[in-house]
Amino acid sequence: MPKDGYELFKKACDYHESINISSDVQSEIVDFIKNGSDLSANAMDAIQEEDKVWSLLEQANSADIWNMPDRKKYSTSKFWPHTSHWLTLGNIATAKAIKLYLNEEPEKTIKFISELNDIGLRTSKAADVVAALAYLVVRQRQHPVLISSIDMLPAKSISNHFSKAKRQYCKIPEIGEIIIGLEYVGQNSIQDMFQTMREGELKGIEKKFIQDLKGDGVETDIISKIEDGELLSFENWEEMAISTLNNLYAFYTNRLTTASSKELLELDSQIEERISNIESEDFGGEAIDEWMSFATNATANTFSLAGARKVHRKVGKAICHDMMQVFVPSISQFGITYREFVAAERMILIRYATRIYRQKHNKLPENLTQLVDAGLLDNEMTIDPLTKESLLVENENFKVYSAGKNLIDDGGEFDGSEPKDLAMLTLDEYWENNTGKSMGSKKRVRGEL
């Protein structure tokens, strides 16, 4: 029977958890990644102790099947269980990759990062925005050591690694594939909440209400509407809430895909406005209390179809309003983060292509178009997802960069804690930018791992 890659992935996560790395060591590893600070013996031992994890992940990558959990069943009480594992594992993996690079083993570094990226691409489609964001964070922390390793690769091996990188780039999930996982969570959580109401203090109230109406001599056609779920019905309110959720997510997904980055920053306020337009004057709990009072006190003399419809609308809107505030979170910033991530992945491909072009022509390209004309890149790979225009180039050293969050070409300015542009920094540049100190000479030291 073929091995299941997901089961091997779970074993890797379980083994990682059993190691129980202290929070102090985890913080030390993160500091090493960001600033190039020295690692203690405990931290080095922790990195080395994960070798079994990497072995299991390597086996998972080569598995013939991956029986992933059905994310259509996730809710706030049942969700992707490996997000925290992925973050801590990713940090340790990044530290290991940096040590490999510092030992001047660029091919091993890229192979190791590439295998981890294969796992990340698989798992980022398995859940919702939180799981995908964990993958993006881990991958972005690896970019500096990856760029440095590309620069150090022997000429003969660049093409193979470049081909692999392009294949991985094509597997990056579309933002709609990620967002739909969050929509499933919302749908299932709404269903769970209604089920809890049915089985809790409101259990049997619908049935008793109908019996009371029949006993009070209310018209048969009105009772039929209630029995069929058209009026004063949990089923109808549940359908209303899920339909509202789906409509909001359809709008969200469309805008996250098509809107300009400037428009994305306004998306959350547009969603808030749409939720406000549900025009609820009450909270869901208050409205349900009103319905219970209506159901308890209605008699043939006081009950009317118009009154029932008024209460029905009032309760439905109140429930929808409350649930949309909970299950339609602010995610426009995720849209920006996703575009920054794609921009960075494209700049990695450009780094590879530039090395190959220079190797063949004995000079740097003059512009990105030459890399496309040479058949090294598709035109899409040269576009900045943030501006939807060409990525920018500082011509003297062919430094490629994105306009960044402010959507303005600041001349490749990426220094400081709040860089204006988004550029692919080497590991030394990244450390120097974070610490303000020259790190290159200090870190070219061999060490055993």
Last residue of a domain, one of 327, 360, 375: 327
Does 276 reside within a domain?
yes
Q: Which residues contact 404 (CB under 8 A, 6 or more apart)?
A: 340, 386, 410, 419, 420, 421, 422
440, pLDDT greater than 60 = no
Give domain status of residue 449, yes or no.
no
Measured CA distances, 225 to 26, 61, 194, 203, 236 (Å): 60, 55, 20, 20, 11
Please identify, among 327, 360, 383, the residue that sits at the C-terminal boundary of a domain.
327
Question: Which pLDDT does position 296 carry in this prediction?
Answer: 62
Q: Region 82-105: what's the mean pLDDT?
A: 90
Residue 316 within any structural domain of the chain: yes
Question: Residue 448: inside a domain, yes or no?
Answer: no
Q: From CA 147, how far away is CA 423, in angstroms rounded?
A: 11
Residues 98 and 33: beta-carbon distance below 8 Å: yes
Q: What is the pLDDT of residue 75?
A: 81
| 3-state SS assignment for residue 65 | strand
**300 plus 361 within the same structural domain:** no
How far apart are the C-alpha atoms of 206 and 198, rounded to whole Å? Answer: 9
- Are 12 and 123 members of one domain? yes
Within a domain: 145? yes
In a domain, 44, yes or no: yes
Contact 329, 291 (CB under 8 A): no
Averaged pLDDT, 285-309? 65
Instruction: Give the per-residue pLDDT at 53.
Output: 93
Is the model's pLDDT at 232 over the cut of 80? no
Element (H, E) at 124: none
The predicted-structure confidence for 337-352, as pLDDT tens digits, reads as follows 899 999 999 999 999 9
In this predicted structure, what is the pLDDT of residue 441? 39
d(CA 190, CA 239) in angstroms, rounded, equals: 10
Same domain as 159, residue 58: yes
Task: Pick the closest to residue 187 from 127, 132, 243 (CA basis).
Answer: 243
Of the two residues 219 and 48, the one the predictor is more confident about is: 48
Whether residue 202 has pLDDT greater than 80: no
**Domains of the chain: total:** 2
How buried is 416 (Cβ within 10 angstroms: 0-12 exposed, 13-18 middle, 19+ buried)?
exposed
Q: Which of 297, 327, 357 is the last residue of a domain?
A: 327
The predicted model gives 68-93 an average pLDDT of 82
> Is 386 in the same domain as 433?
yes
Q: Are residues 14 and 162 in the same domain?
A: yes
CA 86/CA 89 separation, integer angstroms: 5
pLDDT greater than 50 at residue 85 = yes
Is 397 within a domain?
yes
What average pLDDT does the structure give for the chain? 84
By residue range, what is the domain housing residue 230?
Answer: 181-327
Question: Is the distance from CB of 448 to CB of 41 less than 8 angstroms?
Answer: no
| 168 and 185 assigned to the same domain | no
Categorize the per-residue pLDDT at 397 as very low, low, confident or very high, splitting at 50, 70 and 90: confident
Alpha carbon distance 90, 69 (integer Å): 21
Q: Kindly report, residue by residue over 128-166, the tens digit of the pLDDT.
A: 677 788 888 889 999 999 999 999 999 999 999 999 999
pLDDT of the residue at 447: 34
Tell the burial category of 352 from Cβ atoms under 10 Å away from its Cβ (0-12, 13-18, 19+).
buried
* Residue 289 pLDDT greater than 80, yes or no: no
Is 82 contained in some domain? yes
Q: Which percentage of the chain shows pLDDT scores above 90? A: 44
Alpha-carbon distance of 131 to 129, in angstroms, equals 6
Beta-bridged to residue 394, according to DSSP, are 399
pLDDT of residue 194: 84
Shared domain for 246 and 363, answered yes or no, is no
Least confident segment among 44-48, 61-65, 227-231: 227-231
Which residue did the predictor score with more confidence, 290 or 389? 389
| Residue 346 sits in the same domain as residue 258 | no
Same domain, 32 and 150: yes
Which region among 80-89, 212-221, 230-239, 254-263 has the lowest average model confidence (pLDDT)?
Answer: 212-221
d(CA 248, CA 328): 8
Interval 370-389 mean pLDDT = 96
Q: 97 and 123: one domain?
A: yes
Considering the domain architecture, whether residues 168 and 250 belong to the same structural domain is answered as no
Within this chain, do residues 322 and 336 fall inside the same structural domain, yes or no?
no
Query: Nearest 5 degrees, angle CA 110-CA 111-CA 115?
Result: 115
